[in-house]
Amino acid sequence: MNSLLANNLFTGYRVGSSDLTVVSHLQFTDDTLIWGEKSWANIRAIHDVFLLFEKLSVLKVNFSISHLVGVNVANSWLYKAAKVLNCKMGATPFVYLGMSIGENARHLSFWEPLINRLKARLSGWKSKHLPLSGRLVLLKSVLSPLRVYALSFFQSLLSPLLNLF
């Protein structure tokens, strides 16, 4: 992706007014998010770089579980682009690494997946055999990382943007 950007074969999403930052992708283990401007050149570049990746590695991109999501893009264009990439057409909001993308963080529904995970972890701790001090240790060791993960997820998305201000 960096090579595509450097050679002007892919146009990432530009953020900022005076000091532009280009955001093109975010990767975590086997998941990749790619941000770019709406253009057929970008669609061809994405398709070609994934095919090149398959040729150079022993891995295969599973386009059948991949989604193309557009923001302020006509559904007709998005549908055609998804057909070219042989993937599904997605919509916002969607869940990436357990976090909702494209939803307003001010609404309670944005935080529901995190709250549900916390409730699921707590429901197994209702044992009467566990003393209060043991429950406190569980809370600190298990629930804190969930909260930190949620906040660090947004930091990784926003860190390039925060450097602008």
The DSSP secondary structure of the chain, one letter per residue, reads -HHHHHTTSS--EEE-SSS-EEE-EEEETTEEEE---S-HHHHHHHHHHHHHHHHHSS----GGG-EE--SS--HHHHHHHHHHHT-EE--SSEEETTEEESS-TTSHHHHHHHHHHHHHHHHTT--TTS-HHHHHHHIIIIIHHHHHHHHHHHHHHHHHHHTT-
Average pLDDT, the chain: 78
Domain locations in the chain?
Answer: 2-91, 97-156
pTM, two decimals, is: 0.63
pLDDT value of position 45:
94
Mean pLDDT over 73-88 rounds to 91
- The more confidently predicted of residues 77 and 19 is 77
pLDDT for 161 equals 46
Residues 42-62 have a mean pLDDT of 89
More confident residue, 99 or 21: 21
